[in-house]
A and B are shown apart, each in its own frame.
Chain A
Amino acid sequence: MDFFLSRYRNITVLLIAIVGQLLLIAYQVKSNKDVPLIRVWAVTAVTPVEQVLEVVRAHTWGFVEDYFVLLGVKNENEKLKHENGELKMENQYLKTELSTADRAQALSVFQAHSQSKTVAARIIGNGTGSNSKVVFVDRGSASGIESGMAVVTPDGIVGKVVDAYPTASLVMLITDPTFAAGVVSQKNHVRGTLKGQGHSECLIDYVQNEEPVDSGEMFFTSGDDRIFPRGFPVGRASAVRNGKTFKEIYVTPSGMQGGPEEVLIVLQGVHQEIPDGEVASPGYKILQPPADENGTKVGDLPAALVTDADRLKQQYKEAGQAQNHTFGEGIPGSKPPDFTKIPGIRAAAPAASSAKPASGAPAIPALPSADPNRPPTAPPTAAPGPANMPAPKPAAPKAPQTADAPKPKPRPTAPILVTDPTDADPDAAPPPAGARPAAPTQSSPPPATQKPAAARPQPPSNP
């Protein structure tokens, strides 16, 4: 036995070791159990060292690794900055494109709904000079542009064409110190002359101190200047104060907000009504005025300033309805209504006759009514003067003044259009055949084309 062990000691030890491990494996496989003691020893021996190594690595190799990571981050940061810049540029470009598309759409909608014939143009450059208030647009005489045409946007007026070249036109902005246009306030219908001041605000001149103008009141073009059709927004009064003779009314032009890029040039202007209600900002919808307890809308109530003509018209209308007669529908030769049955006609006649001027002025004053749906009448002297001159006041026309009738006429609450003088006052003497109204501005061209339908309202009481 000793001989065997000494001679085959190595192979015996090997076999014992191998068999022992084979039995260990067989036991684990057979019983599906582990040998936890050996594993615990091994794990207990290895893992503390592993933890120490991990701590050392984190503070040494991890630091070096972070350094290289930071180098990569620096390069990546520069790359991302560059990419971010490109994206910002692209974003700005797309925003500009979108804004341009919105403006173009607004112009298109306005152009489609406006009665005036317009042509769209794009502002392509400014005039020379640091204080230049003129711009070039990309439409010229080849597109039908002529000097003196109005330039507007859906938000308001922008300026007027001062020179038309074949491919471009020079537009004077309303902020130019030499610019002038006739305007009228929305609420009180006070007329004045808009003047540019060379900065962002404009001045409305020639408004008497006694005339009521509220701060924040909207102004519209009056059409007196024969440049801008009546009814285009001008701006909102930002400051109103009394001056020596005239009020100092500063207006923030609504058409110049944000710097217009696309404009409309009015080829053929059509006068429009000035809205009675509050004008909302573009893009906002405002509600109808609320009804009172009787169900009557506030907007339907008669205005405070109701004239004798309004009352007389209402009487005629009611008398016609009582006799089944509608004014304006009778053919020549048909039976007229019995005017003797109108209740107040006899009572009004003495007052009217007492107020009748010696020159044969009509008993029924042709003053505008407050009814916005009725075509307004205008005095024959409402023809515009020069734009840089005081606008003709509807309350103080060149109507004949009589000694026995010193009572001032009430202020008109409806717009007064520039019309043929023969339309408003049939008793007034017609102007001479060759008479022409004065030029609206010192550089204004011949009057803009006006449609008679809009500029010549028919007398409402013509049976």
Chain B
Amino acid sequence: MTEYSERLLDKPVRKESPSALRFGWLIVIPLLAVLSQVYVPRFLSFLSYLELPLLITVYFALNRRSPVQAVFYGMSIGLVQDSLSNQPIGMFGIVKTLVGYFAASVSMRFDVENPVVTFILSFFFYFFHQFFYWVLARALLGEALSFDAQQTLVFGLLNAAVALPLFRVLDKLKVAA
């Protein structure tokens, strides 16, 4: 194990986040994320690959480092997404619940302020989100969806690339705890 990896695993183990978002931002930001997902692709169709609600869930989970809060936060965002879709409510809720939980769990083991870690986690959770949603759709709804792994990987990279500046912007909104 190298010195860098040891630092990644050992140093950032913290119980409390030094700063947190205001409560209002916790409501407005996911709402804007969902809104952008349903509104922006109308005019900029090439941005339809962006999964901003997922990135917001990951960001919140990594920053709060509380699996319980992340579970409810992810579930809420997912349910809102389900409400604006034409599928049964709970599909995105379950997936984002899991993403929030695992992201919060991982955040206690890694230095989530490191851009590389943030990039990798964002990419991983995007792939996990898409894959698990495909599994749920086939298992629970019996839908014959296809899963394009290559496209999902590319979109995962793009979402991870977007996550880096997005997380920096959201960090600016944090206030000292």
Contacts and interface: CB of A to CB of B under 8 A. Distances in A.
Interface in A1-50: 9-10, 13-14, 17-18, 21-22, 24-26, 28-29, 34-35, 38-39, 41-43, 45-46, 49-50
B93 interface: yes
Given A9-B68, A14-B101, A45-B31, A22 B90 contact: yes
Contacts of B80: 42, 45-46
B20 interface: no
Interface stretch (B33-41, B117-125, B169-177): B33-41
A18 B38 contact: no
A4 B151 CA distance: 43
Contact of A28 (B35, B39, B88, B98): B88
Interface in B8-65: 31, 34-35, 38-39, 43
A17 B95 CA distance: 11
A34 B67 CA distance: 29
Contacts of A57: 43
B72 A17 contact: yes
A243 B77 CA distance: 108
A50 B71 contact: no
Given A14-B67, A21-B97, A29-B141, A38 B83 contact: yes
B67 A10 contact: yes
A22 B94 contact: yes
Contacts of B68: 9-10, 13
A9 B94 CA distance: 18
B141 A38 contact: no
Given A18-B94, A18-B98, A21-B94, A46 B89 contact: no
Interface of B: 31, 34-35, 38-39, 43, 67-68, 71-72, 75, 79-80, 82-84, 88-91, 93-94, 97-98, 101, 105, 140-141
A25 B38 contact: no
B35 A49 contact: yes
A53 interface: yes
The interface residues of chain A, by DSSP majority, are classed as helix
Nearest to B105: A10
Contact of A35 (B72, B89, B91, B101): B89
A29 B94 contact: no
Interface of A: 9-10, 13-14, 17-18, 21-22, 24-26, 28-29, 34-35, 38-39, 41-43, 45-46, 49-50, 53, 57, 61
Contacts of B141: 25, 29
A25 B97 CA distance: 14
Contacts of A14: 67, 71, 97-98, 101
B71 A25 contact: no
Contacts of A45: 31, 80
A426 to B, nearest CB: 106
17 contacts: A10-B67, A13-B67, A17-B71, A17-B75, A18-B94, A21-B79, A21-B97, A24-B89, A28-B89, A35-B89, A38-B89, A39-B84, A42-B79, A43-B83, A43-B84, A50-B39, A61-B43
Contacts of A38: 79, 82-83, 89
Contacts of B91: 25
B35 A42 contact: no
Nearest to B93: A21
A211 B34 CA distance: 103
A197 B71 CA distance: 108
B38 A29 contact: no
Nearest to B140: A25
A42 B94 contact: no
Contact of A13 (B34, B71, B84): B71
Nearest to B78: A21
B86 to A, nearest CB: 10
Nearest to A10: B67
Contact of A46 (B31, B75, B90): B31
A-B complex: 5 closest residue pairs judged by Cβ atoms: A42-B83, A21-B90, A10-B67, A28-B88, A25-B90
A42 to B, nearest CB: 3
Given A24-B90, A29-B88, A42-B80, A50 B101 contact: no
A18 B97 contact: yes
Given A10-B67, A25-B90, 16 more contacts: A10-B101, A10-B105, A13-B68, A14-B67, A14-B71, A14-B101, A17-B75, A22-B90, A24-B88, A25-B88, A25-B141, A29-B141, A34-B88, A45-B31, A46-B34, A46-B84
A13 B93 CA distance: 14
Contact of A42 (B67, B84, B90, B105): B84
Contacts of B38: 46, 50
Contacts of A18: 94, 97-98
Contacts of B35: 46, 49-50, 53
